[in-house]
Structure 1
Amino acid sequence: MSDFDALMEFQRTTEALSSVAQRLGWDQETVMPRGATEQRAEEIAAMEAVLHERRTDPRIGEWLDSAESEAEDAEDARMLALIGRDYRRQIRIPARLATELARLTSLSQGIWAEARGADDVSAFLPTLSEILMLKREEAAALADGGGAYDALLDDYEPGATAESLSAIFTAMRPRLVQLRDDVLGAEIQPEPLSGQFPAETQLRLARQCATAFGYDWSRGRMDLAVHPFSSGTWQDSRITTRVVTADPFNCLYSTIHEVGHSNYELGIDSDYAFTALGGGVSLGVHESQSRIAENQIGRSEAFTHWLFERMTEAFDGLNITDPRGFYGSVNRVTPGYIRTESDEVQYNLHIMMRFDLERDLISGKLDVEDLEEAWNARFLKDFGVAVDKPSNGVLQDVHWAVGLFGYFPTYALGNVYAGCLNRAMRDALPDLDTALREGDATPAVEWLRENVHRHGRLIPAAQLIEQASGEDVSAEPLLDYLEEKFGGIYAL
């Protein structure tokens, strides 16, 4: 066996074990008994110890040194580059740190959920302080003298920096704020959907929406979670959603969002399974797939026309009686607290706030004990609304509880990528709205599969988006889309 083949065989087992570890996390968030939290934390920590040992095995470095000359094509070369990058990052992280982070972030999910349910920030802050201390240690190890926050960001969006993302966000903010002000001050304001919508009916309709987006139920399933997510790849990618009886859009669009993620994983070339190429290339690209599904497709006037008919059939006596009014209701812009429920106009402003706060946390400029006050002050400044309770404020997101510092900005970057892709997709599929009006989003999914999904990690993120869209990555397509869409809804 050549060194290249030995490395690929070793990597295959590591990827398979990583899938098992991911499934433990899915189980914890969906069906695991509540009393099993401590046991699961130990199980996840043990798995992380095994994975860290494999990912830092000295043989990887030896194989890489000789395998380069054995690479036969661009795919081989890219796999070696990715394995080498991950190996060089992993060997900087002590096994103790990797294991402790896995154990603590598994435990902290339950602590965060209980604190959120009780609106008790003080019950969560000590755990967050421990996580932050470990993440600062990890960042210092990875940075190797460079920027600590950039080192964490590189886990999710390789090659991006806080400086480059800050430049994009700074350029976006004025047009977003102006559009929000124009919309909220408009004479025409869409009527909100109101009523009580039974959970089982919502979930049945959510399944219909997932099917409309081509979700492969033979390789997936849908469950409930406090914070919706997707999990898995290749032959097993699962989605979760949540139900609020007064707000069916929460369930339906959470489902469509997570289907966007799962369709990406299920659409990767099967030859890449259990290799370094067999996953999403970056979190920004991953988020572009969920956001384009949820917003540019799922909240389009054509698709909401179909959804209105399904809603009318499923629920008695909707207070909105025509498709155009329903389209406006789906896309209402309101000054709400919750990021995941935010309209398209304000969503990126939520991310920009979190981006600034978590950079300050990592740098030490902001202490954990001052986080709630800083959050509330920034939210009031950015959104003009005072936070009424922690579950609507600093406790609303699970990300920091599970150590995902550097993750938030990829949401906004995903919207930028989605704007680029949407413009190209609409040019390539001029009759797309006809299919969407019939509840068939598969032409869009197939275009995304051909241009994004199937490549896995073969092509770097920005290059992939540029190749798919035919233009340089820019926020302009997203901002143009938002201004045209909401200008129409609000008669600006």
Structure 2
Amino acid sequence: MSSRESLAALVEFQRTTEALAAVAQRLDWDRETVMPRGAAQQRSEEIAAMEEMLHARRTDPRVGEWLDDARAESEAEVRMVELIDRDFRRKSAVPARLATELARLTSLSQGIWAEARAADAPGDFLPTLDEVLTLKREEADAYVAAGFGKGDRYDALLDDYEPDTSAADIARLFDTLRPRLVSLRDAVMGAERQPERLAGHFAQEAQMRLARACATAFGYDWNFGRLDIAVHPFSSGTWQDSRITTRVMESDPFNCIYSTIHEVGHSSYELGIDPDYAFTPLGGGVSMGVHESQSRIYENQLGRSRAFTGWLHDRMGDMFGGLSVRDADAFYGAVNRVAPGFIRTESDEVQYNLHIMLRFELERDLLSGKLAVADLNEAWNARFLRDFGFAVDRPANGVLQDVHWSVGLFGYFPTYSLGNVYAGCLNAALRDAVPDVDEALAAGDATPAVEWLRENLQRHGSLYRPVDLTGRATGAPVSAEPLLDYLDAKFGEIYAL
């Protein structure tokens, strides 16, 4: 077999693996949206079986042989081989037994977490979390033994979500962000001008119609997607099938609206990738940080802008027969209101990254063994009080609010803050390149912004490394300054600082 034939065999084998992975992802989507509650045990076995088969394919010795012999010529081929090789080495480091058991346990754990959250009963979930953490430590140790993570468990797991970064990099980023965020929060909380709060009852059916209208405004293609309700909003899928979910609180329509716009950002990235990359390693988002940059810029810099909220104010007023706030300007303040809150996904832009810092500290301590799972609820509450100045009122608003640890996503949380930083850089470049973006947003049309993001970032998929991709799109090195400057300017104006 020639070197080019080896490359062709590798690509064809990978195509089937990617297709099977998409089927496995669809099982996850079904579990979170429409699966009967009583089917959890069966679904965990199905997901475990899929993971066993996928792990066997990803570690097939022929992949190693093809990688040794393949000759890549184009830029896309070189990157494809690089990504397959990285995945082959990582997956080969993990025993098949461990990969299968993790898939089975995390499928069950997610349901146990959801029940515990609904019952406000951390004791019903923490023993299962302890089992998940034991397996994740074993997985991290396997990666470290294979040369990943430079001897650090957390770095070894972080590499799954944000390659080419480390816990030390994240800690330095947080050291840059924290002082200005805390200073801005304190100034905002103490400001004489305080925005009105939107009040009222907003029926679920009407909220979902409005959510669909917002998704359409941001270019979501309903031929390739759908919107459903989930406990924890997420998006799922790629290429021709990328679905989104949201959640509804009838006292807070912003939860539904902005969860929807956020997930449209994720989905738009997947749907916007060059179709030539379908069923290849290039055909998905390059990292969770870059993925979050798309969801966060859609949700915040675009969706919470004065321009778009003006359009949203009029649509909501018509749909709900008037609003409690006096006008579009007051509505803009209500959308961006900074207030004490427990829930990360409902947090304002000023405080969001402070929520991530808390989780980053806790999960590093959990992985290292410095913090026992049995002490997690108490540790969460103590750190929340330290960071936010008020006490957690109940576990569903504290340690049980996020799904991530139940499904083994240790190392994932920092990518939200990286996404915010990337989004800050992209927003600055976008507004330089498309000066009339606000004019379109005011008409409920995000097309100019979406097209710029698709052309400069989304279409490339995983062709470039995360920092390189963002740098190519913006023409500047990645920095936290654009995000911090944006926040200072926006909230300084809203609160008359």
TM-score range, shorter chain: over 0.9
How far apart are the structure 1 equivalents of 2:486 and 2:383?
Answer: 27
Alignment match of 2:8 (pick from 2, 5, 9)? 5
Matched, 1:57 2:60: yes
How far apart are the structure 1 equivalents of 2:364 and 2:321?
Answer: 48
Matched, 1:40 2:43: yes
How far apart are the structure 2 equivalents of 1:356 and 1:451?
Answer: 34
SS at the partner of 1:113? helix
- Structure 1 gaps of 5+ residues are none
SS at the partner of 1:239? strand
How far apart are the structure 2 equivalents of 1:467 and 1:73?
Answer: 19
> 2:176 — aligned with what?
171
Q: Following superposition of structure 1 onto structure 2, how do residues 295-444 of structure 1 map, counting pairs within 5 Å?
A: 295-444=300-449
Cα deviation per residue 1:35-64 (whole Å; 9 max; x = unaligned)?
100000000000000000000000011000
Q: TM-score, normalised by structure 2?
A: 0.98
Note the C-alpha offset of 1:171: 1.0
How far apart are the structure 2 equivalents of 1:331 and 1:437?
Answer: 17
Q: Following superposition of structure 1 onto structure 2, how do residues 154-193 of structure 1 map, counting pairs within 5 Å?
A: 154-193=159-198
Residue correspondences, number: 490
Alignment match of 2:27 (pick from 8, 24, 27)? 24
Matched, 1:94 2:95: yes
SS at the partner of 1:238? strand
How far apart are the structure 2 equivalents of 1:381 and 1:471?
Answer: 36
Matched, 1:233 2:234: no
SS at the partner of 1:178? helix
Q: Following superposition of structure 1 onto structure 2, how do residues 184-263 of structure 1 map, counting pairs within 5 Å?
A: 184-263=189-268
Note the C-alpha offset of 1:317: 3.2
Return the letter of the residue paired with 2:39.
A
Q: Tell me whether 437-446 or 317-326 shows the greater mean CA deviation.
A: 317-326
SS at the partner of 2:93? coil
How far apart are the structure 2 equivalents of 1:82 and 1:9?
Answer: 15
Q: Following superposition of structure 1 onto structure 2, how do residues 456-471 of structure 1 map, counting pairs within 5 Å?
A: 456-471=461-476
How far apart are the structure 2 equivalents of 1:318 and 1:219?
Answer: 34
Return the letter of the residue paired with 2:236.
S
How far apart are the structure 2 equivalents of 1:49 and 1:317?
Answer: 54
- Structure 2 gaps of 5+ residues are none
Q: TM-score, normalised by structure 1?
A: 0.99
| Superposition CA RMSD, Å | 0.6
How far apart are the structure 2 equivalents of 1:384 and 1:480?
Answer: 25
Sequence identity percentage = 72
Return the letter of the residue paired with 1:80.
V
Return the letter of the residue paired with 1:386.
A
How far apart are the structure 2 equivalents of 1:452 and 1:88?
Answer: 28
> 2:451 — aligned with what?
446
How far apart are the structure 2 equivalents of 1:33 and 1:321?
Answer: 44
> 1:116 — aligned with what?
117
Q: Tell me whether 141-150 or 78-87 shows the greater mean CA deviation.
A: 141-150
Conserved in 1, the CA contact under 8 Å of 2:59 and 2:92?
yes
Conserved in 1, the CA contact under 8 Å of 2:316 and 2:322?
no
Return the letter of the residue paired with 2:93.
R
Note the C-alpha offset of 1:143: 1.3
